[in-house]
Chain A
């Protein structure tokens, strides 16, 4: 009986698999130009140096990467697949300290030259140990890497200083474009203004501030892909233009995200011609008090700022008008390392009873000698979604514990300069946006300011740094989770160095004819467009 059951199960599974694969293959149509809109302008074309989606959205399609998140399952935080490597993502050897990747030998750059392990080594050398004068935005993600070698044209080996669960997610970051060694040897800055990769599309034309065009790569190593004849992207920052472009058919999709109202307007206007994909977003808006300024050098005051914020209520209402929704701690909500709701509700500022929270906030402020009606300046970024919306909400939250807050809004450039260099702020909006969900490294945002380049609160807390190192060197997920809870309690409660508000929520309304693209928890992921096709 068991055997019959097993046979039947196998038969059903086989039928389903065949059905899916046949159906999938038959459904995909070739041809057409994907028109999309990018609400930014790329500062440069070099993925290694940039941190913005403004570079990923126009240029990811022209490059291959070593490994990537599974494009058919981009919502997964652990499902990585080979892009340039062969077979599955390799397991670590040498006690978890060596990763050996076998490389495909059928990959060609768009100029016809062959891509080898030497090109991959040159690219990762540039990311991990950038030459003088070259910026690498993700150098800190590869601190565990000891050496990179390419013993032959189809093998690349990474030797680590210590076993690290953060290594594979770091390699899978979409910014790790593979460049041609011969071009890097000539000029390390070549890729800042030029495009020459091995991705599914070949670069045609880029008019900064206007548009970028690409065409199908006929020699792409994944046979049959890409399905599209080409792509055309328009650069337009204003959200109203983005909405109108999709509404009027000038663009079929925008890959960053829209607020709920725009989704509803588009749905109303386009009806069945519109498909909406939604997902939690690996991006959190935070409040960073300047711990060098009085009275924010007092942990009680910082805790009071957190206690005044009604995160659970804010989630309910702000999710109607802004691209934020989920209440969470330092780790991407839903990840195995993230706090459960019960664990979170024990942390001050996340208590379910807001009246109790605010009473405690007032008590702490009084105890710290902060008078009723105390005035301070809240520094914010001049971007509506979600910064200015959440900023207005925060000011109202603090008003309810007797604080009077004036807002200083700056455009992105001066905002970053104030936050990262000048440091002349009382309390600032801050954010932690990452691509691959990799909490072990993502929480580096909360390290001491002299350790992490992205920590802006000007504090030094060696206990936090120690916990971070211990967590990253531990191979045991149970122990990692335990340390993460202690880390979270230290950062959000005991010291309240930085205060997460709400995690973002990604909403992508697109023309229903755009098929094959799946939403992911990051607007940096799944953008090589090789599996996208148009049903027209």
Chain B
């Protein structure tokens, strides 16, 4: 027996496991996270409707048709019409576009700004961290809706201002979560090594620390999208968000809920359902993403 062919009993080198086909992996994931899969399905449907609204929607969502006012759901108008004779289904489909644009843009900007600020605060520490965190405390002291209301009352109504109003309250929330993760990363030797090699702060923060806090960042984004959709609908319902004739769920609810709740309930029920379903979908998806990305939860 030559040395080359000798093997140590019980110490056989394991063959790397062959990677599963993506479809199998997907089914595994669905089996492990059925609720998350349901959430992802809702999100995908919503994104599809938003992107292809002009192909999917049966009617133009802003054209008034006074011959078709308050028609209950039927074969032509599946979800009925509103007080201006507009097709509720078409407005819901186009409303998904408004909700997703506001949701994704404000969640992305808010979480990203929070990410950079949170990591910077953890990295620099000391007086900067102390002052920065107290400023964050001030913002965090206000409930989300109150802060958004204050911001929108300063900037005014409209989609762009609504995005600003929703983004600002998200920044401290994300910064706080990301900072707690970044504090532990700061103590890892490779950060010291990078510093010793003379890398500047920006490079250390963006190239070495930020990639290591991506998990909480992604989880925050998915949670924020749901919250942003709800905030957009709430502010619009209060008359401070998107304005007619732009299709938006909160606007549809506001127009229908007060006056027509009894005589034309479809005007309020369907946008209400759409808001609930969207928020539910994003929350489920966000929870599942957290379970998948968080190593502690994954091992459990």
Contact = CB atoms under 8 A, between A and B. Distances in A.
A240 B258 contact: yes
B84 A408 contact: no
Contact of A409 (B63, B239, B259): B239
B170 to A, nearest CB: 25
Classify the secondary structure of B's interface with A: loop
A189 interface: no
Interface residues of B, number: 19
Contact of B64 (A264, A265, A382, A396): A396
16 contacts: A238-B258, A239-B259, A261-B259, A265-B262, A313-B66, A320-B69, A321-B83, A382-B239, A391-B244, A392-B244, A393-B84, A399-B63, A407-B244, A408-B157, A409-B243, A410-B156
B300 interface: no
Interface in B102-157: 156-157
B94 to A, nearest CB: 15
B66 A264 contact: no
Interface size class of A (residues with CB under 8 A): 20 to 34
A321 B66 CA distance: 11
Contacts of B258: 238-240, 384
Contacts of B245: 392, 395-396, 407
Nearest to B239: A382
Contact of A408 (B62, B66, B69, B156): B156
Nearest to B260: A261
A414 B154 CA distance: 11
A262 interface: yes
Given A407-B245, A409-B157, A317 B66 contact: yes
Interface of A: 238-240, 259, 261-262, 264-265, 313, 316-317, 320-321, 382, 384, 388-389, 391-393, 395-396, 399, 406-411, 414
Contacts of A414: 156
B200 interface: no
Contact of B69 (A238, A317, A384): A317
Interface string B234-260: 000001000111000000000000111
Contacts of A391: 244
A393 B85 CA distance: 11
Contacts of A238: 258
A160 B63 CA distance: 55
Contacts of B64: 392-393, 396
A262 B259 contact: yes
A376 to B, nearest CB: 14
Contacts of B69: 317, 320-321
A264 B262 CA distance: 11
B244 A408 contact: no
Interface in B37-92: 62-64, 66, 69, 83-84
Nearest to B254: A384
A187 B74 CA distance: 66
A316 B85 CA distance: 14
B32 to A, nearest CB: 46
Contacts of A396: 62-64, 84, 245
B239 A261 contact: no
Contacts of B6: none
Contacts of B243: 406-409
Closest 6 CB pairs of A and B: A317-B66, A396-B64, A392-B244, A240-B258, A407-B243, A321-B83
A259 B64 CA distance: 19
A265 B259 CA distance: 9
Highest count of chain B CB atoms <10 Å: which of A262, A264, A391, A396: A396
A354 to B, nearest CB: 12
Contacts of B66: 313, 316-317
Nearest to A392: B244
A264 B260 CA distance: 11
A240 B268 CA distance: 14
Highest count of chain B CB atoms <10 Å: which of A239, A388, A399, A409: A409
